[in-house]
Amino acid sequence: MRFLPRTLTSLVAVVLAAGAAFAQAVPPRPSPVPRPVVPAMPVPPPPEVDAQSWVLMDYATGQILASKNPDERRAPASLTKVMTDYVVSAELANGRIHPKDEVTISEHAWRSGGAGTDGSTSFLKLGSQVPLMDLLKGMIVQSGNDAAIALAEHTAGSEDAFANLMNAYAKQLGMVNTHYSNASGYPVADHYTTARDVAILSRALIHDFPADYAISAIKEYSWNGIKQQNRNALLWRDPAVDGIKTGHTAAAGFCLDASAKRGDQRMIAVVMGASTDKGRADAAMALLNYGFRFYETHKLYAVGKTLANPRLWKGEANHLPLGVAEDVLVTVKTGQYDKLKATMDIPTTLIAPFKKGQHVGVLRITLDGAPIQNVPLVALNDAPQGGFFSRLWDSILLWFHGNKQTATVAPPPAKATK
């Protein structure tokens, strides 16, 4: 300080003293309180519900999350009309029938499913012509048996021919325990399905024909001056519920095929053989709530992302990038994401050529050691053969390469996103 003027020296001393006083006046910041460790949430077993068989399916993955007697063959009653809806929607999409078609109500449709029967009906008049889309709404919302039969006859020429079409679509969708004999669900001996197969069908309907699926959310519909309510009571209980179909006969009991979407997550609950109308609604609602509360869906791998880049022999390139053709989604119980593991099975020796999209290996997803998904690994690019000398050189190298096995492990799944 001896080199500074006396006035400046005094000023510096005052500033330093003030700074020291301010530092003493500010209390020290408290140490952060450590956050308590939250234990993993236990997942209870599924609820006990009033039904002979039932299934809870995650829509995004098709995984069965919980079930009881899922493959027990049962009379489907009007759950049959979910397949009738699917076939009509498919034939509309294929251009073989058209939304503006006028459909004539035959004597068979009128006599077997009309107002003179004990079953549900749209009250269609014999010989009248009804627009196809009105029949579709009448079948889905009102569960009209006459509408179902009329749609079947218009689509395939006869109800018997339509039943054959239903069975062909069922086989195509992988419904291995299902056989249809009619379009309405009228109880006959050789007409059956399972809760699992109904869930498979429902998932396909939602995915393949979303506009027609949306009809099942309509709460009431009028035809011929008669207004009828949708029999799916859950449409009034929960705004997330947007389908799908009820059914009831003495042989089938009370059935309900329900779906709901909350946020980005959709669940499907199929209940067969409940003892009451209220029982089937309570059962489906309990299953849907259970699925949304205790399960979460994660995207593990994105389409087009390189998951492996193994050696390629006799090709223009030395490596073949491999990935998946569709996003890999997995649904697990809440808190079990860290137990997922992914591995890849790839042939030891890959020799060109390969086409983009060609199956090359398998991505295996396990949860706590138990397999839950096998996904094809595909070539992400075309991989043509190399030139003559390149192939010759690789042939020499392959002699030394032999059959040495290499274990390839997929990278850890991406950060969980619900």
Token readout for 284 is 């489906």
CATH superfamily of 302-401: D-Ala-D-Ala carboxypeptidase, C-terminal domain (2.60.410.10)
Query: Looking at residue 14, what is its pLDDT?
Result: 40
User: What stretch(es) of the chain map to CATH 3.40.710.10?
Assistant: 53-222+229-295
Delimit the CATH 2.60.410.10 region(s) of the chain. Answer: 302-401
Asked whether 209 and 106 are in contact (CB, 8 A), the reply is no
Q: Residue with structure tokens 């290499």?
A: 406
Spatial CB neighbours of 16, under 8 Å, sequence gap ≥ 6: none
CB 58 within 8 A of CB 331: yes
Contact 268, 292 (CB under 8 A): no
At 309 the pLDDT is 93
- Quick one: which of 173, 174, 152 has its CA closest to 164? 152
Can you list the alpha helix ranges (DSSP code H) found in 254-343? 277-294
Per-residue pLDDT of the chain (418 residues; tens, 9 = 90+): 444 445 434 443 443 444 444 344 444 444 455 555 556 668 899 999 999 999 999 999 999 999 999 999 999 999 999 999 999 999 999 999 999 999 999 999 999 998 888 789 999 999 999 999 999 999 999 999 999 999 999 999 999 999 999 999 999 999 999 999 999 999 999 999 999 999 999 999 999 999 999 999 999 999 888 999 999 999 999 999 999 999 999 999 999 999 999 999 999 999 999 999 999 999 999 999 999 999 999 999 999 999 999 999 899 999 999 999 999 999 999 989 889 999 999 998 999 999 999 999 999 999 988 998 999 999 999 999 888 877 878 787 877 765 544 444 555 555 544 4
**C-alpha span between 191 and 163 (Å, rounded):** 10
The torsion of the CA quartet 330, 332, 337, 341, rounded to 10 degrees, works out to: -60
The catalytic site residues sit at 78, 81, 143
Is there a contact between 208 and 195 (Cβ–Cβ < 8 Å)? no
Q: CA–CA separation, 159 vs 181, rounded Å?
A: 9
Q: Reduce the DSSP state of residue 409 to 3 states and report it.
A: coil
Nearest Cα neighbor of 365 from 354, 376, 356, 381 is 376
Beta strands in 46-92 (DSSP E): 53-58, 64-68
Helices (H) and strands (E) in the chain, counts: 11, 17
Identify the CA nearest to 256 among candidates 19, 36, 76, 402.
76
Per-residue pLDDT, 33: 52
Helix (H) or strand (E) holding 262: strand 253-262
Report how far residue 181's alpha carbon sits from residue 189's, in angstroms, rounded to the nearest whole number.
Answer: 9
Q: Which residues pair with 103 in a beta bridge?
A: 130
N- to C-terminal Cα separation, the chain:
66
What pLDDT sits at residue 245? 98
Nearest to 345 by CA among 376, 387, 309: 376
Cβ partners under 8 Å of residue 200, min gap 6: 62, 173, 174, 175
Distance between CA 363 and CA 355 in Å, rounded? 19
pLDDT of 72: 98
Tell me what pLDDT residue 23 has.
Answer: 41
CATH architecture of 53-222+229-295: 3-Layer(aba) Sandwich (3.40)
